[in-house]
Amino acid sequence: MNNRLKDLMNNGLFFFAIATLMLWIKSYFTFRFAFTLDIENTMQEIILVIAPLGSIIVFLGLSFMFAKKHRMKAFLTLYFILSFVLFANVVYFRFFNDFITVPVLMQYQNFGELGGSAAELMHLSDIMLWIDFIAVCVWVKMQDSQYFLALRKRTIGLIFSTAVMAMAVNLAMAETERPELLTRTFDRAMLVKLLGVYNFHVYDGVMTAKSTTHRAFAESSELSEVQHYVNAQKGKPGEYFGKAEGKNVVLVSMESLQNFVINYKVNGQEVTPFLNDLIGDSLYFKNFYHNTAQGKTSDSEFLLDNSMYGLPRGAVFTTNSGNEFNATPEILKKEKGYTSAAFHGNNDSFWNRDIMYKSLGYDKFFSEEQYDVTEENSVNYGLKDIPFFKQSIPKIKSLEEPYYSKFITLTHHYPYILEDEKNKMIEPANTGDGSVDRYFQTARYMDEALKKFMQDMKDAGEYKDTVFVFYGDHYGISENHNRAMSELLGKEIRPFEHAQLQKVPLIIHSPGLEGKTMETVGSQVDLKPTILHLLGVGTEQDIQFGTDLLAKNREELAIFRNGSAVSEDRLYSAKENICYDKSSGEEIEAAKCDPIKEKAQTELEMSDKVVYGDLLRFLDEVQPISEKSKPGQPEKQN
């Protein structure tokens, strides 16, 4: 090595610049190719290049805050953290098609349960995300001096000035491309595309702190505003009001089941033969959508029991479990004397259920500890569905009637693994995408589990006085698998088709309830009023954003957590800001979707206001209802 190159390699400013450049290049290529950010024009491409630079310089520059002898260790630590943030988001994005948020990190206790899911998400190519860090470490190791980064204050000031300039240019360009980006955007992909993943995490941290302080300053007048809005949306109960009065309720959350599998065949075999038959003598809602976001199954549970939306970041179950709620179990206990119970073959703390169920008013919670779980009868997240339902029958019979019960299935969960060959009742698809191909096998297994469960309920004498509600909890196949889905469905997966794939099955079955296919557009937020009205319970005094799916002349609307919306004749995709005519699937003038777009924005903001401000604690102050009975603590079953 000649003297000039040696001097350069020993120059702290040169080292800082090259390290910054390597991390900058790595960040850009990761944004461009590891995430699906839909770059729409040259301006967005330029923004994507610029976005990481300012934040990288700032974060690495924090090492200058340390004493000179500790500065290099601080620099390497910061470089590692930035690399790990990038790596973690890449892995998370592969399944969730989303980015990590602070509330998601608060769900850290869930990570230990991921098992095969996490392993499936990691690829050998991920090593590329660490090569630059290794190179930096080797470079540092070659240095003799611990004061390698002992730069002059003037030089450090110039470094930070460069960072501020880069961030200012980035923000100005981002605001030009998407006005009100930081105040009116639900879409995390848009924030990452225009601000970069590091700035996104800073923004997310600020928003988390802001939402945390919201409760302290909330006032009852805010709930009055929300109540005025929801009262204006409520329709009158329809002809089905009280049709299932006095009956037990069995809710089954069908893990990751999307509606396209209903009556769908793979290799000539039905994926859901039991559900296909059940639809014939049940109320089947073919235009029913999920509203979940990062909370996934816990979001669907929250929607089911509260008729409010999940949060834009994280999950209510983990961030706001101490709130006051007016959930279905509490209402049914007070109005009709129902016993409530939740059944789940995983540990009780997953999604913070052991705490949240108490807040929702559940009397009993049967979790993994109350089941016989072995290595042979479990997979991924816990007990397989068939033994789960089988072992649940004696527990159901132990409940005092009438009861309101909820069952959370597990087997049909990413990565859709069935290790025992006898559980594979259908051949996989043949798209070359392992997750998609196996999806149909675990869906078929769950369908068989539901068939056996229904027969066991009949044999146990629990069938005839019960109303069964089977609903899909959230999507199972994300946008990351559009190629395989396009092959299966025989058409390109545009934003329009992607939105339609967010339909999940809703089947309401009860002896004496005539079968009918319902065309109305609805979503999970509508489940609470629909169930309560079937049981003959009025909802006039409740704070709810959904409407009875069985009511006449209801407004047909489904609102997605990202601001997209579907009505009877329009579909608005918030991510792309495109309006579609539903009947033709063609793009139409954007203004024609303005009514549903604005309603989605209003409704999501109001729901968030209720949750973040814990506004239901003011419920008695703003409406003349009888004193609410506080739910007791759910008993831990032994």
pLDDT tens digits, one per residue of 552-563: 889 999 999 999
Is residue 391 over pLDDT 80? yes
For residue 466, what is the DSSP state? E
Q: Which residues are catalytic?
A: 297
The pLDDT of residue 638 is above 70:
no
In the predicted structure, residue 291 carries a pLDDT above the cut 50: yes
Residue 627's pLDDT is 40
| 621/312: higher pLDDT | 312
The predicted pLDDT at position 294 comes to 86
Q: Which of 10-24, 33-47, 425-439 has the lowest mean pLDDT?
A: 33-47
Percentage of the chain lying above the pLDDT 70 cut: 91
- What pLDDT, on a 0 to 100 scale, did the predictor assign at position 514? 93
| Domains of the chain (ranges, CATH numbers) | 3-214 (no CATH), 238-302+316-553 (3.40.720.10)
pLDDT of residue 630 exceeding 50: no
**Average pLDDT, integer, range 110-132:** 72
Q: What is the pLDDT of residue 474?
A: 96
Closest CA to 558 of 532, 547, 493: 547
Tokens of 448: 């068989």
Cα separation of 91 and 94, whole Å? 5
Q: How confident is the model at residue 635 (pLDDT cuts 50, 70, 90)?
A: low
Q: What is the C-alpha separation between 347 and 354, in angstroms, rounded?
A: 9
User: Residue 2 pLDDT > 90, yes or no?
Assistant: no
pLDDT band at residue 626 under the 50/70/90 scheme: very low
Euclidean distance between CA atoms 348 and 296, whole angstroms: 17
Across the chain, what does the average pLDDT equal?
90
| Pure H helices in 67-149 | 71-96, 102-105, 108-111, 116-121, 131-141
Q: How many Cα atoms occupy the beta-carbon half-sphere of 84 within 13 Å? A: 6
Q: Name every residue whose Cβ is closer than 8 Å to that of residue 469 and which is 6 or more positions away in sequence.
A: 249, 250, 251, 252, 506, 507, 508, 527, 531
Arithmetic mean of pLDDT, 80-87: 95
Summarised one tens digit per residue, pLDDT across range 491-506 is 999 999 999 999 999 9
Residue 3 has pLDDT above 90, yes or no: no
DSSP string for residues in 176-204? HHSTTHHHH---HHHHHHHH-HHHHHHHH
Average pLDDT of the residues in 403-418: 94
Residue 47 has pLDDT above 80, yes or no: yes
- Residue 122 CB coordination number (10 Å): 12
pLDDT at residue number 132: 95
Question: Is the pLDDT at 66 greater than 80, yes or no?
Answer: yes
22 has a pLDDT exceeding 50: yes
pLDDT tens, position by position, 588-618: 999 999 999 999 999 999 999 999 999 999 9
pLDDT single digits (tens) 184-236 = 555 678 889 899 999 989 988 887 777 678 788 888 999 999 999 999 888 77
- Assign 105 a pLDDT band (cuts: 50, 70, 90): confident
pLDDT at residue 172 is higher than 50: yes
Confidence grade of residue 402 (pLDDT, cut at 50, 70, 90): very high
What is the per-residue pLDDT across 332-363, written as a single tens digit (0 to 9) for each?
999 999 999 999 998 887 888 988 999 999 99
